[in-house]
Amino acid sequence: MQDIIDRFLSYVRIDTQSDPDSKTTPSTEKQWNLANELVYELKQIGMQDVTIDNNAYIMATLPSNIDKKVPTIGFISHFDTSPDYSGTDVNPQIIRDYDGGDIVLNVAQKIVLSPFYFDDLLQYKGQTLITTDGTTLLGADDKAGITEIITAMEYLINHPEIKHGTIRVGFTPDEEIGRGAHKFDVEKFGAKWAYTMDGSQIGELEYENFNAAGAKVTILGRSVHPGYAKGKMVNALSIANEFISILPPEETPQNTSGREGFFHLHHMKGEIEHAEFELIIRDHDSEHFEKRKQLLRDIVEKLNKDHGACISMDLNDQYYNMREKVEPVLHIVEIAKEAMERVGIVPIIKPIRGGTDGSQLSFMGLPCPNIFAGGHNFHGKYEYIPVESMQKAVEVIVKICELVGAKGH
């Protein structure tokens, strides 16, 4: 346990926040700080063929230790953290033997992590939790996944009696801004399939995710003195409000769950002469996804007719539901499910209400289900992770490697 804690804390204390407004890869220079540390560590534990390219994509190999030929498989995590909340000067707190009550994250600011709001905490009574100090995110998304993969590889290197085929590991930048797989070299990686260690609570196993798109809407208005504005003023802010009011109010993130899709307004700014806002569009069902995008186009057309061609929209797909690519090779999910069961975990198979590098990689020719990394409340000050969940994730990785080595498929 202490080795996992020490490794994890060393990663989260390095700021790796990504930047959606940057055009470089990685999107922030500071991501190189952890990337270079990971390269060094992979070499130190005995991994082979350790590489880092000009965009900070890291790959390494654990060679096979069996005579028969079995598929090369991979494990992937990302080292950037979300731009939604500060990742600077992360100061983790360790709560040993959690008693099931409130955890005061920050006395001065009266920030409390409470099971009253976050009832998942009660699953971990008696365990060791790592939390924030209430001023930053933690970074378990996805430095927990990196911790688990490297710890599992180190364990396999130190226990050659566990037989396995060739294992590839990959660590990516910029997943949190949707670019984690954009420059991932699938051919170089050379695995038949892989698993992202990027899920949340213990037991999660996912091979479905949202279809995703993003829309940026720009409205050009005309400012006239309000006393003389009749028939002349075009108020961009009012038109933006009208646009948003046409969207179904019940189809937002806070009103949906499971496989229900949504529209999410996440940025808005403007004045009378210029307004703009950004939406994300999400749906597990591809037909519903297309209808959502068409609704936006229809709104633009209607309002342009009403207000004089003042609206433009940039609408782009971001990623798709990996189920289409994983279902034909569903045995890779069954292997992960069996691995969990073998180490005493009840698998929780459910769709991801989001996306991972795996969704894009699956469409790039690398089928890639997602496995829990153990953290909760990502992207904010209430983020936490039970150390025991990270331990179990390590066991799952090791068992998957063992099962593939034994089954040969």
Positions annotated as catalytic residues are 80, 175
φ/ψ (deg, to 5) at 68: -75, 160
* The total number of residues written for the chain in this structure: 409
How open is the CA angle 296-350-149, to the nearest 5 degrees?
110
Residue 269, Cβ neighbours under 10 Å: how many?
Answer: 11
Determine the Cα–Cα distance for residues 401 and 403; give it in Å rounded to an integer.
Answer: 6
Question: Tell me, what amino acid is at 104?
Answer: V
Is the C-alpha dihedral spanning 160, 163, 166, 170 positive or negative? Answer: negative
Which residues, in sequence order, are CB contacts of 294 under 8 Å at separation 6+?
Answer: none
Q: Please name the residue that has the structure tokens 């939790």.
A: 129
Determine the Cα–Cα distance for residues 9 and 90; give it in Å rounded to an integer.
Answer: 9
Sort residue 86 into left (φ over 0), alpha (ψ -120 to 50) or beta. Answer: beta
φ/ψ (deg, to 5) at 407: -80, -35
Determine the Cα–Cα distance for residues 385 and 110; give it in Å rounded to an integer.
Answer: 21
Determine the Cα–Cα distance for residues 178 and 266; give it in Å rounded to an integer.
Answer: 15
